[in-house]
Amino acid sequence: MLTFCLIFPWLLNNESAATNAPRLNESSIGSYESSICTYNFLDFVTENLNSENPIKPDKTSSIECYSKINGIGYSQDSISAYVGTNINLDLIIQSLFWLLLFSLIPVSNTYSIKKIEISAFLGTLLFLLHLRSESLFYQLNSKIFSADLEGNYLIYSLLITVYFVLLTFINLCQKRFYNILNYLPFVFVIAGTYNTLNLNFFVVCFASLGIMRTLTKRNLQLALLAVLMMNKLWEVQTINEITFFDVDKIKGFSSSAYNSDSVLYWSLIFFFFSAGFLFLINKTISMLNIDLFQKNLLISGGVSVILSVISAGGALENFLTYYYLGLNKSPSRTLESVSGNAWRGMSSSAEGVGEFYAFVLLVVLGMAIKNKQFSLGLPYILFGFLNIYGLYRANNFAAVSSLFVLLGSIYVLFNIPSKKIRVLLFVSLSFLIPYFYQAYSSVPTTQELSRNLIKESLKISYLDSFDKNQYGQTAIEENRFLEILQQEENEEMISNTLNYLIEKYHFSERNNLPNLTTSISAVAYPINRTKVWGIFIGKYDPSLSSLLFGTGLNQLSNYYFAHPTKVNSGLTLPHSAVLSYLVYTGLLGVLTFFTFIIYKLIRYRFMTTYVIITLFFLMNIIKSDSLLYVNNFMLFIFAINLDKYFEKEYTNQSEEDVFLQL
Amino acid sequence: MNANIEKICGESELTPDFDAIASNPAFVFDPDLSYETLVLYNSDGLIINVNSWLECANYVNGGWFASINNLINYEKRLFFILLFFTTSYITIEIAQKLRGQKNSKK
């Protein structure tokens, strides 16, 4: 069936009368351009074996032009061939492929899920709300898309497919229920984002479980009520509607429009997805097979690296990897690193996948350190090396450093019996590391640190009309920030956040304690976040309401467009999940989350393994956008709920024994 | 020249001036007895018989096509196929459930 799914779609529309495709080069471009929707993809591939011309999806294709060559993109460097893909067929083919892969999870004891049909039906209605709320995104992905329901067979087909997919998923889920979490790491191989839809397979499917759960649980119904109340607060802010926001690499988990319907949809889908996934965790985490989970971590990390290398090897491999793994964007076409010396491979974010590789190594090496032996066989050792290679190429400094710090902590905690020595070691290291960092790296002075952040923010603000002094320096270069604030014409150009931080920088008490601006800068500098956080500060211009309550779950567009800056094209993310969720949920959401996490850390402080895993994620989400990606989000939710796994173990065993199992 | 012309109408040494034909309302296409009559369709479902290569080329250039398939609403057809599969799936599911209930009563 899987082979059928891989080959059959590209045989569609393969009429015998079709003309044979010529090899694509400069002389045959004319032939391709005048024969749109004529050459079949298989013919094209056969004629263009070993060609380096990129193959890209033509997302707006009609059904009859699916899998045909629908256009040529010509630039000095390359000639790209556009293969017809269609919104309806993508939904069917990609869902079928992923459902088949999901069905490969071994069967466990059956869990009887109630209200399957109604959950699938409500999930389908939610999908309809999504289609209508993000019309422009879909019009850009289908020439015939219309939100009008009358005689609209395109929408009817999409709805019936989603209903069928949800029904099938829930049915497959019932029989594999207690085994799904063991195979969770594979979400880093199958990302599950649809080619022509702003949807993710896992989000939609787990949301249907969440709907089912909400229909049967009182506390979830109350939580839904709270979300709907928050939604009312978010809706009020959608006076200035944004019809299109290019979601690019966060496709499937971020809204492409900003209107009351899209705010409602993303609030509901986020709630139901989280509820569904948490339901699975709560019911099955106690049956987690930690050995199998560890092996699957190694395999999925290793396979992800192998597929990344394969997809960089050729145009066909690159296209098929993108399509069948549901990647948010095309994989890297080369093995060379790009910005920041990072190589993302097939992942949409080098940071996100780097965090995953580091997590794999933390679990596997943490276990080996504790056990003083590595019990896994040779294939798993090889997969381990692939993970190390992936982490090295992802160049995620925060993930690597947190990995080393936490592995060191595991070693100390489980190998040095004296509590006094352990405390002494931790205290001395907490002072020595910053000291050596300060002594041997080129850290600027405290004043310069604060100025760097402010300067980065001012750079992206529309403030170009400055007089220059005799040395050609502007007020920004001369650090006269307050003067910039005081100029009336700059009032609208400077974001509230930047305004606030400049005032803090200038007017804070001189009491030898760092002010807020300096504190943020001091954190940002060593983790290489001065520039990107500077951009965030320059762009983030919240009203009091959006500062407190945010602009809605998975809604970045208001943050992105409401305040005009020089960085309003392309996708420049805040580079901190904390900042992203500040935009989504405001201070209320971020503070509630941190209160919850701190409460859990204090309550389960005796569960060393749980504390270490949670700290690993906390250290990383501060500087990375990983929680904007579905797979990283799922891993994070899973990790912070591991206390339920260890809690069960603690009732019978000592801490040391529990760690032996992990 | 439109690649579909050669595909639908066949090869010819003629180089038609479509603009001249379009701008002359009195233009008459002379039938070519050696040319096998072809049936062309347009998106409104209209049908026309063409009796020469030039006539065929002129209509194909204007967006007419040779296959009735081009008139099919693929979305509609896909919808009914999906409806059939989903209904069958649900029917089988319900039948299995009922059978299971019967067996458990026994």
pLDDT digits 0-9 by tens, A464-481: 666 777 777 777 878 888
Q: Any chain A CB within 8 A of the CB of B84?
A: no
Q: Looking at residue B56, what is its pLDDT?
A: 92
Q: Any chain A CB within 8 A of the CB of B49?
A: no
CB < 8 Å to A148, chain B: none
| C-alpha–C-alpha distance, residues B104 and B49, integer Å | 67
Same domain, B34 and B83: no
Question: Which 134-153 residues of chain A touch chain B by CB within 8 A?
Answer: 144, 153
CB < 8 Å to B70, chain A: 64
CB < 8 Å to B78, chain A: 63, 88, 153, 157
Contact flag B79-A64 (C-beta cutoff 8 Å): no
Q: If residue A144 lies in a helix (H) or strand (E), which one and from where to where? A: none
Structural tokens at position A569: 């094209």
Same domain, B65 and B78: no
CB < 8 Å to A161, chain B: 82
Buried/exposed code over A91-100 (b: 16+ C-beta within 10 A; e: otherwise):
bbbbbbbbbe
The yes-or-no verdict on residue B1 having pLDDT over 80 is: no
| C-alpha–C-alpha distance, residues B96 and A400, integer Å | 53
pLDDT tens-place string over residues A213-243: 999 999 999 999 999 999 999 998 887 788 8
Interface test mutation site (partner B, options A148, A164, A172, A175, max chain B beta carbons within 10 A): A164
Say which of A63, A163, A167 has its CB closest to residue B75: A63
Domain of B43 in residue numbering reads as 3-71
Same domain, B21 and B63: yes
Residues whose CB is less than 8 angstroms from the CB of residue A160 and which lie 6 or more positions away in sequence, other chains included:
B79, B82, B83, B86
Nearest chain A residue to B80 by CA: give it.
A157
Q: Which of A628, A453, A443 is nearest to A532 (CA)?
A: A453
For A312, half-sphere exposure in the C-beta direction (CA atoms, 13 angstrom radius) is: 15
Same domain, B91 and B42: no
Nearest chain B residue to A64 by CA: give it.
B74
Say which of A35, A88, A161 has its CB closest to residue B3: A35
Amino acid letter for position A292:
L
Same domain, A420 and A466: no
Q: Looking at residue A658, what is its pLDDT?
A: 46
Contact flag A144-B75 (C-beta cutoff 8 Å): yes
Domain count, chain A: 4
Percent of chain B at pLDDT exceeding 70: 90
Q: How many CB atoms lie within 10 A of CB A612?
A: 21
Same domain, A374 and A347: yes
Residues A160 and B83: beta-carbon distance below 8 Å: yes
Give the model's confidence band at A662: pLDDT under 50 very low, under 70 low, under 90 confident, else very high.
very low
Q: Looking at residue A577, what is its pLDDT?
A: 94
Same domain, A142 and A256: yes
The whole-chain average pLDDT of chain A stands at 89
Residues whose CB is less than 8 angstroms from the CB of residue A451 and which lie 6 or more positions away in sequence, other chains included:
A479, A481
Residue B41 to residues A185, B7, B62, B63, B66, Cα–Cα distance (Å): 54, 15, 11, 9, 6
CB < 8 Å to A157, chain B: 75, 78-79, 82
Say which of A88, A168, A171 has its CB closest to residue B78: A88
Same domain, A208 and A281: yes
Say which of A19, A34, A157 has its CB closest to residue B82: A157
Say which of A38, A153, A160 has its CB closest to residue B86: A160
Say which of B70, B79, B90 has its CB closest to residue A157: B79
Same domain, B93 and B49: no
Same domain, A27 and A165: no
User: Which of A517, A548, A574 is a domain's end point?
Assistant: A574
| A188 compared with B27, residue with greater pLDDT | A188
The yes-or-no verdict on residue A129 having pLDDT over 80 is: yes
Give the model's confidence band at A18: pLDDT under 50 very low, under 70 low, under 90 confident, else very high.
low
**Radius of gyration of chain B, Cα coordinates, nearest whole angstrom:** 25
| C-alpha–C-alpha distance, residues A655 and A608, integer Å | 8
CB < 8 Å to B89, chain A: 164, 167-168
Q: Looking at residue B70, what is its pLDDT?
A: 61
- Tell me if A458 is assigned to some domain: yes
Domain of A459 in residue numbering reads as 446-525+530-574
Give the model's confidence band at A660: pLDDT under 50 very low, under 70 low, under 90 confident, else very high.
very low
Same domain, B32 and B66: yes
CB < 8 Å to B2, chain A: 34
| C-alpha–C-alpha distance, residues A107 and A174, integer Å | 9
Query: In 3-state terms, what secondary structure has residue B48?
Result: strand
CB < 8 Å to A163, chain B: 86
Question: Helix A378-394 crosses helix A350-371 at what angle (to 10 degrees)?
Answer: 140
Same domain, A325 and A461: no
Most confident listed range (A281-295, A416-430, A506-520): A281-295
- Tell me if A321 is assigned to some domain: yes
- Tell me if A373 is assigned to some domain: yes
Same domain, A50 and A198: no
- Tell me if A580 is assigned to some domain: no
Contact flag A153-B78 (C-beta cutoff 8 Å): yes
pLDDT tens-place string over residues A327-344: 999 999 888 887 667 899
Give the model's confidence band at A594: pLDDT under 50 very low, under 70 low, under 90 confident, else very high.
very high
- Tell me if A120 is assigned to some domain: yes
Give the model's confidence band at A653: pLDDT under 50 very low, under 70 low, under 90 confident, else very high.
low
Q: Any chain A CB within 8 A of the CB of B93?
A: yes
Q: Any chain B CB within 8 A of the CB of A163?
A: yes
The beta-strand segments (E) located in A259-317 are none
End-to-end Cα, chain A, rounded Å: 36
Same domain, B58 and B92: no
pLDDT tens-place string over residues A152-184: 899 999 999 999 999 999 999 999 999 999 999
User: Mean per-residue pLDDT for A182-203?
Assistant: 97
Domain count, chain B: 2
Same domain, B37 and B56: yes
Same domain, A398 and A543: no
Residues whose CB is less than 8 angstroms from the CB of residue A240 and which lie 6 or more positions away in sequence, other chains included:
A258, A558, A562
Residues A337 and A389: beta-carbon distance below 8 Å: no
- Tell me if A358 is assigned to some domain: yes
Same domain, A111 and A232: yes
User: Which of A69, A84, A99 is a domain's end point?
Assistant: A84
Structural tokens at position A536: 């965030």
Same domain, B59 and B9: yes
What is the strand order of the sheet A69-74 is part of?
A: A55-58, A79-84, A69-74
Query: In 3-state terms, what secondary structure has residue A383?
Result: helix
Same domain, B67 and B96: no
Q: Using the 8-state DSSP alphabet, how is residue A71 labeled? A: E
Same domain, B11 and B54: yes
Same domain, A131 and A266: yes
Q: Any chain A CB within 8 A of the CB of B26?
A: no
Say which of A62, A88, A163 has its CB closest to residue B86: A163
Give the model's confidence band at A515: pLDDT under 50 very low, under 70 low, under 90 confident, else very high.
confident
Interface test mutation site (partner B, options A110, A160, A165, max chain B beta carbons within 10 A): A160
Q: Any chain A CB within 8 A of the CB of B3?
A: yes
| C-alpha–C-alpha distance, residues A284 and A361, integer Å | 24
CA A509 to the chain's CA centroid? 40
Q: Any chain B CB within 8 A of the CB of A64?
A: yes
Q: Any chain A CB within 8 A of the CB of B78?
A: yes
Burial class (CB in 10 A: 0-12, 13-18, 19+), A146: middle
User: Mean per-residue pLDDT for A639-659?
Assistant: 72
- Tell me if A252 is assigned to some domain: yes
Residue A560 to residues A138, A244, A333, A626, B57, Cα–Cα distance (Å): 21, 11, 29, 18, 51
Q: Which of A448, A545, A454, A560 is nearest to A500 (CA)?
A: A454
Q: If residue A239 lies in a helix (H) or strand (E), which one and from where to where? A: none
| C-alpha–C-alpha distance, residues A448 and A387, integer Å | 38
Contact flag A160-B82 (C-beta cutoff 8 Å): yes
Q: If residue B73 lies in a helix (H) or strand (E), which one and from where to where? A: none
pLDDT tens-place string over residues A277-316: 999 999 999 999 989 999 999 999 999 999 999 999 889 9
Query: In 3-state terms, what secondary structure has residue A24?
Result: coil
Nearest chain A residue to B1 by CA: give it.
A34
Same domain, A20 and A94: no
Same domain, A297 and A395: yes
Residue ranges in B1-106 assigned as alpha helix (H)? 3-9, 18-23, 53-61, 74-105
Q: Any chain B CB within 8 A of the CB of A13?
A: no
For A569, half-sphere exposure in the C-beta direction (CA atoms, 13 angstrom radius) is: 1
Say which of B74, B76, B89 has its CB closest to residue A62: B74
CB < 8 Å to A158, chain B: none
Residues A2 and A97: beta-carbon distance below 8 Å: yes
Same domain, B77 and B66: no
Structural tokens at position B61: 């250039």
- Tell me if A579 is assigned to some domain: no
| pTM as predicted | 0.88
CB < 8 Å to A144, chain B: 75
